[in-house]
Amino acid sequence: MTRKLEKFVDQLPAINTIKPLEVKNKRAFYEIKMEEFTQKLHRDLEPTRLWGYNRQFPGPMFDVNKGEPIDVKWMNNLPGKHLLPLDESIIHHDPEVRTVTHLHGSETRSDSDGYPEAWFTKDFKQVGPFFKREIYHYPNRQRAATLWYHDHAMGITRLNVYAGLVGMYIIRDQEERRLKLPTGDYEIPLIITDRSFNEDGSLFYPSQPNNPSRNLPNPSIVPFFLGDTILVNGKVWPYMEVEPKKYRFRVLNASNTRGYQLYLDSGQSFYQIGTDGGLLPRTVKLDKLVMEPAERADLIIDFSKYEGKSIILKNDLGSNPDPNDETFDVMQFRVTKTLTKEDTSKIPKRLSTIPSLKTGMVAGYRNLKLIESNDPLGRPMPLLNNKKWEDPVTEKPRLGTTEIWSFINTMPFTHPIHIHLIQFQILDRRPFDLDFYNKTGQIRYTGPARPPEPNERGLKDTVAAPAGEVTRVIVRFGPYSGQYVWHCHILEHEDHDMMRPFIVRE
Ligand SMILES: [Cu+2]
């Protein structure tokens, strides 16, 4: 779709940190406006019309301390017409432009969690049935972590996020500060997204699936979306000039569907120190890193032996058949800056202690099947436990109890499963015979359970549930009761009923 764009001609944009509007009784208050604007995404592209927080894509970064709660007023100042094709057959779009912000990975009360039906329009003139408050409250009581915020409005999350409504949110704490990790100019957020563009520079998002097998409405939701162009921090295939020293990168996959397997073409290893919910117990040395949508990786890359060299951050997962697809490249590092001062930062071996949830009592076990089905128009519609969004709530864990959830993926591809409110621990993954399952509906294991990968042994809020495997996570439900959601984080799936409410009971 996109014409050939030259790589590594634009500098990686720095992401600014948002300042509070005011601080009252030690509590910071922020305002963020969602607006339409244009932004130059590549040297040779016309400015692109986008939706963003405070007229930026990605939005400004929150940088807060553990124990310091904040309030945020998210305001919808978007035009009345949507930027992208709206499918009337999955949800009625009245009003068209609805927004609600979810702080992904945060432990937040349900009235500030961004429930999909808590959406609101410009000046809160119209609101969804679950709308409770204009100002969201974030307690920031959890450990230091790389969180992110993004739109979550019912039935149009894929479009609102694709239009640009994403941003990063960092919580810091003392434990992490003691580690002497690279900081300041040497700590860089990298928000990776894929997009496609029309000739005029506007965003391309398909209004129908390729080769629809029957008469579908136009627009009609697509079963997945893979852009042919990779952006980091809102620039197409950018480059970044670095000093020959260690850098910390907070990497977020904010793409709709695309997963990445990242590596450096210099052949060098890198180090993962944190995951979704904060620091890992130990540093993990990696040659390749898989990131499904919504996952975060806190990385250290050491450029000290690469003075004068250019290094490309590559991706070897999921390129699409389009000949313009160049998604095997992500960005470039140029080790061309002179070392300003001696690098005293560390890559500690031991990072943190994460108490295991396995030692406590387990109050419940749930088998949750990820199942392919079809909607009334014959389109693929993967579901959770064969239930649609509208079906009555079936998952009702009790506040403060621990449960084991088994995601049984009977489909031929990975789904990244996200649970709101909590950070969980991955127990294991176990393969089963998918053909046998499809014939009989029975699970027959074909191998032993595998423990999580070393870089998954921290707190997670999103887990890759691979095809033909049972992925088990252990969850302690709290610290708040209320109604939340869990869903696949492939946004095209989430919008088409691969999302379910759950209730944490008192
Ligand atoms: Cu999915």
| Averaged pLDDT for residues 483-502 | 98
Q: How confident is the model at residue 213 (pLDDT cuts 50, 70, 90)?
A: low
Q: Is 70 exceeded by the pLDDT of residue 482?
A: yes
* % of the chain exceeding 90 in pLDDT: 94
Give pTM, 2 decimals: 0.97
pLDDT of residue 318: 67
| Averaged pLDDT for residues 101-111 | 98
25 Cβ contact list (under 8 Å, min separation 6): none
| Averaged pLDDT for residues 216-232 | 95
Q: How confident is the model at residue 107 (pLDDT cuts 50, 70, 90)?
A: very high
| Averaged pLDDT for residues 384-399 | 98
User: 53 C-alpha to center of ligand 1: Å?
Assistant: 26
Residues 237-265 have pLDDT tens digits of 999 999 999 999 999 999 999 999 999 99
CA proximity to 196, closest of 231, 144, 171, 233: 231
Q: Is 70 exceeded by the pLDDT of residue 78?
A: yes
Structural tokens at position 134: 């204009």
pLDDT of residue 362: 97
User: 491 C-alpha to center of ligand 1: Å?
Assistant: 8
Q: How confident is the model at residue 346 (pLDDT cuts 50, 70, 90)?
A: confident
Is the preceding omega at residue 219 within 30 degrees of 0, hence cis? Answer: yes
How many whole angstroms separate alpha carbon 15 and alpha carbon 483? 33
User: 254 C-alpha to center of ligand 1: Å?
Assistant: 15
User: 415 C-alpha to center of ligand 1: Å?
Assistant: 4
How many whole angstroms separate alpha carbon 422 and alpha carbon 177? 24
Q: How confident is the model at residue 211 (pLDDT cuts 50, 70, 90)?
A: confident
Q: How confident is the model at residue 25 (pLDDT cuts 50, 70, 90)?
A: confident
Write 437-444 long-range contacts (CB < 8 A, 24+): 437/410, 437/468, 438/410, 443/408, 443/470
Tell me the residue type at 441: G
Q: Is 70 exceeded by the pLDDT of residue 320?
A: no
Q: Is 90 exceeded by the pLDDT of residue 212?
A: no
For 168-177, 300-309, 381-390, 437-446, which range has the lowest pLDDT when averaged over its residues? Answer: 437-446
User: 82 C-alpha to center of ligand 1: Å?
Assistant: 24
User: 231 C-alpha to center of ligand 1: Å?
Assistant: 22
CA proximity to 261, closest of 194, 328, 334, 333: 328
Is the preceding omega at residue 95 within 30 degrees of 0, hence cis? Answer: yes
User: 32 C-alpha to center of ligand 1: Å?
Assistant: 30
Q: Is 80 exceeded by the pLDDT of residue 321?
A: no
pLDDT of residue 395: 98
User: 240 C-alpha to center of ligand 1: Å?
Assistant: 33
User: 493 C-alpha to center of ligand 1: Å?
Assistant: 5
pLDDT of residue 210: 84
